[in-house]
Amino acid sequence: MSDELNLIDAAKGGSVDAFTELVRGYRDGLFRFLLTRCTNRADAEDALQDTLINAYRYLGSYNPQWRFSTWLYRIAIRNAGRLRTDDHTELGEPPDHGADPLAHCLAASERENLWRSAKRILSDEVFAAMWLRYVEDMSVRDISNVLERSSSWTKVNLLRGRRALEAEMNSTAGSTGSEAYG
Amino acid sequence: MDKFANRLRDDAAKLDAEISPQLDNRIQASLTAIEPEAARQRKPGRRVVSFWLASSLTGVAAALAVIAVLNLVDRNEPEMIPRTVAENTVQPIDVPALDLDVKAATLAGPLAQELEDLQADLRKAEEVMRGDVRIDF
């Protein structure tokens, strides 16, 4: 943690190397998350680039009271949302489901990936809350901060998301005859 | 950790999210081209600090010179100034109690955050409702 704060201080002073080292541990997870939020891989790449640039530029506004990952994900969600809004206003067309990066990153044998079901049945915000909770291991408080929602909203929607996905998981397991989750 | 959480974690790990060298280079090039706001703000600050330091040192040197001259003059003269005059000019220094509000700020911080989040909930709910109404009509 103190190493992280040292790197933050160095990056604030303009050290790109310190910033690169600082975000090294978060980059892959962030990109994976952005792939699930954007309409195509190119958008996810742009969102990652914008997120890291904004984080570097405005590092001075980071409050060490929060985890650094919380701050990064907050910027990432804003960037992904802005890209989607831009796409919508510029093109005015429904999203191309064939270009879904989540579908592209899954091998044919992994089509039953639960995150694919999550994207289909959950709203964007609940999906993000579930991802941050179960993949990034964030606390309810951190998730509320990332999504700019109240703690009660986060708790309720994490529970609803979990119930919906568990039902989906059980129905999939039942239909394939698997006994793993059922 | 329960099966559900494990399954979500495993499924997330299955997503192929490798950052290509091209993207990596692009990001590095972008980062090198910009300067953080904090670093930009620090630069004029350094100039101000050095100016302040130089003027302070000049002031201190001037004050020392005046004191030295006065001491030399005073040595030749008998003590004429009554002590009471000097005592009247000395005023007690009020030390402000700085840490009085620390506890209140700590307690109010999370509540203010929660209030902001609740207001954000309301705004988002309003937007959703407006969207629904537009769809209905």
Q: Which residue has the higher pLDDT, B54 or A97?
A: B54
- For chain A positions 16-35, those within 8 Å of chain B (CB to CB) are 16, 19-20, 27-28, 31-32, 35
Q: Taking CB atoms and an 8 Å cutoff, what residues of chain B touch A46? A: none
The SS3 call for residue B66 is: helix
Residue of A nearest to B34 (CA): A57
CB-based burial, A99-112: b 16+ in 10 Å, e otherwise? ebbbeebbeeeeeb
A109-182 to CATH, choices 1.10.3470, 3.30.160, 1.25.40, 1.10.10: 1.10.10
Contact between A147 and A77 under an 8 Å Cβ cutoff? The reply is yes
Domain boundaries of chain A, sorted by first residue? 1-105, 109-182
- Percentage of chain B modeled with pLDDT above 90: 12
Q: Which residue has the higher pLDDT, A76 or B17?
A: A76
Does A1-105 match A109-182 in CATH topology?
no
Distance CA A69, CA A26 (A): 7
Distance CA B128, CA B122 (A): 10
User: Which residues touch A77 (CB under 8 Å, ≥6 apart)?
Assistant: A37, A128, A146, A147
Q: What is the pLDDT of residues B92-133, one digit of tens each?
A: 777 766 666 556 556 677 788 889 899 999 998 888 888 887
- Inter-axis angle of helices A124-134 and A114-121, nearest 10: 150
For every residue of B83-105, DSSP letters joined together read HHHHHHH--PPPPP-GGGGHHHH
Q: Which two tokens stand for residue A11?
A: 């990056």
Beta carbons within 10 angstroms of residue A136's beta carbon: 20
Distance CA A31, CA A41 (A): 10
pLDDT tens by residue, chain A, 182 residues: 668 889 999 998 889 999 999 999 999 999 999 998 888 888 899 999 999 999 999 998 898 888 899 999 999 998 887 766 555 433 333 444 445 666 665 554 455 788 988 988 999 999 999 999 999 999 999 999 999 999 999 999 999 999 999 888 887 666 554 443 32
In chain A, which residue ranges form alpha helices assigned H by DSSP?
A: 2-12, 16-37, 41-57, 68-91, 101-104, 114-121, 124-134, 140-147, 151-176
pLDDT at A140: 94
Give the up-direction half-sphere exposure of residue A164: CA atoms within 13 A in the CB hemisphere: 17
A1-105 has which CATH code? 1.10.1740.10
* Confidence tier at B68 by pLDDT (50, 70, 90): confident
- For chain A positions 92-151, those within 8 Å of chain B (CB to CB) are 102, 105-107, 110, 113-115, 130-131, 134-135, 144-145, 148-151
Please give the biggest Cα pair distance in chain A. 58
Closest CA to A80 of A125, A117, A120, A118: A125
Length of chain A: 182
Residue of B nearest to A162 (CA): B4
Q: What is the pTM of this model?
A: 0.62
